[in-house]
Amino acid sequence: MRPLTVCGPRALRPGDGRVPWVAYVRTAPISTSATQLTPLPRSLDVRIAGLLLATVLAYWPTSSALWHFWIDHPYWGAHGLLVAALAVWLVYRARPRLAGAAIRPLPWVLVPLLIASVALLYFWRSGAQQLQLLMLPALMLLGVLAAFGVQVARVLAIPVGFLYFGMPVWNLLAEPLRSLTLLVCAFVAPLIGLPASFAGPMVTLPGGITFEVTIWCSGLGFFVQGLAVAAFLGELEQATRARRLALLASMALLALVTNWVRVLTIIQVGYATNMRHVLVTSHHLMFGYVLFALVLVAYVWIATRLAPPAAPEQPASAAGSPSAANDAYLATLAALVAAPLVGGALTLLR
């Protein structure tokens, strides 16, 4: 048995229960007031894209390692490609809200940006790949914060941070989740009349029937991909912090329960049919796919109908001077590429 490795269906912006949620894909209109708001320059899209792309290219060994994790690990990282695509789409979708933000560069953020850059290179050189990959979205957000300020960084925090759902660091939860699955199944099995004996990862039933709950049965795929769907819904809704936390918590519990049901169902079917049912012999993976897909569809349907009305956008304060913004942007680009360039030069000199 192995966890599902594809993310759930596309979730769209929910309505208030009376209008079909499909109609809520478009972003709510942004309130703009000439007396309270100075929009960002029209070149904002190009600047943000350039900053993010510069980070990806400047730290190419890290970006390449993340790419290979997505394409070379079908059970743990296959959903990463979809996560990256959705992150890019969320950044693009945030453009109306970015137009209502204000540029207030924070030059002091260049200091932690340089420290994070050096830390990423250190992790790369020392072979700490998971720490290295975790630094990449953080560098992007620090760059946005330094070049554009708090308001722009707040808008992009979730779209850029969404990349964390495609990181291999989640694999650290595989063993704890497997242990939790075994504990729950050992407790529930007698309650449903399943005469199973649990010893470590092995499950023994009468008649010499034996199952092994492997690391692939931990439900890690359900857990991470479910959290990604919940976070995606919260961002589409522009939900409050409490609503986002509620979505994440409910999906985490639902994903775990789904995996427990999957494991217990396969054990029960194997015992009832003496391991002859097609669900046990060859289609247990497909059973997990279908079960989790149905759960995600039901979750999205219910969550979108329980969503509160969208709150009106708050107007931003006046933006800083264009010259200061240009200087901050160039300084941020220089800070992002400084450490990789110095590190590469030192390597060549050696």
Domain map (residue ranges) of the chain: 40-166+321-350, 172-305
Residues of the chain with pLDDT > 70, as a percent, come to 83
pLDDT reading at 4 higher than 90: no
Q: How far apart are CA 301 and CA 247, in angstroms?
A: 13
Rounded to the nearest 5 degrees, what angle is found at the Cα of 190, between the Cα atoms of 186 and 194? Answer: 95
Q: What is the mean pLDDT of the chain?
A: 83
- Give the model confidence (pLDDT) of 232-278 as tens digits: 999 999 999 999 999 999 999 999 999 999 999 999 988 888 888 87
- Quick check: 31 pLDDT over 80? no
Out of 5-9, 16-20, 162-166, 317-321, give the one with best mean pLDDT.
162-166
Task: Write down the pLDDT at residue 311.
Answer: 60
- The percentage of residues in the chain with a pLDDT greater than 90, rounded to a whole number, is 51
Q: What is the pLDDT of residues 193-245, one digit of tens each?
A: 889 888 888 998 888 888 888 888 899 999 999 999 999 999 999 999 999 99
Give the pLDDT score at 167: 94
Instruction: Check pLDDT > 60 for residue 315.
Output: no
pLDDT attached to residue 312: 59
Tens of pLDDT along 162-182? 999 999 999 999 999 999 999
- What are the backbone dihedrals phi and psi of residue 283, each rounded to the nearest 5 degrees, phi first? -115, 20
For 80, the 3-state DSSP assignment is: helix
Task: State the Cα angle at 166 between 141 and 172, rounded to 5°.
Answer: 110
Tokens for 38, please give them.
């100075």
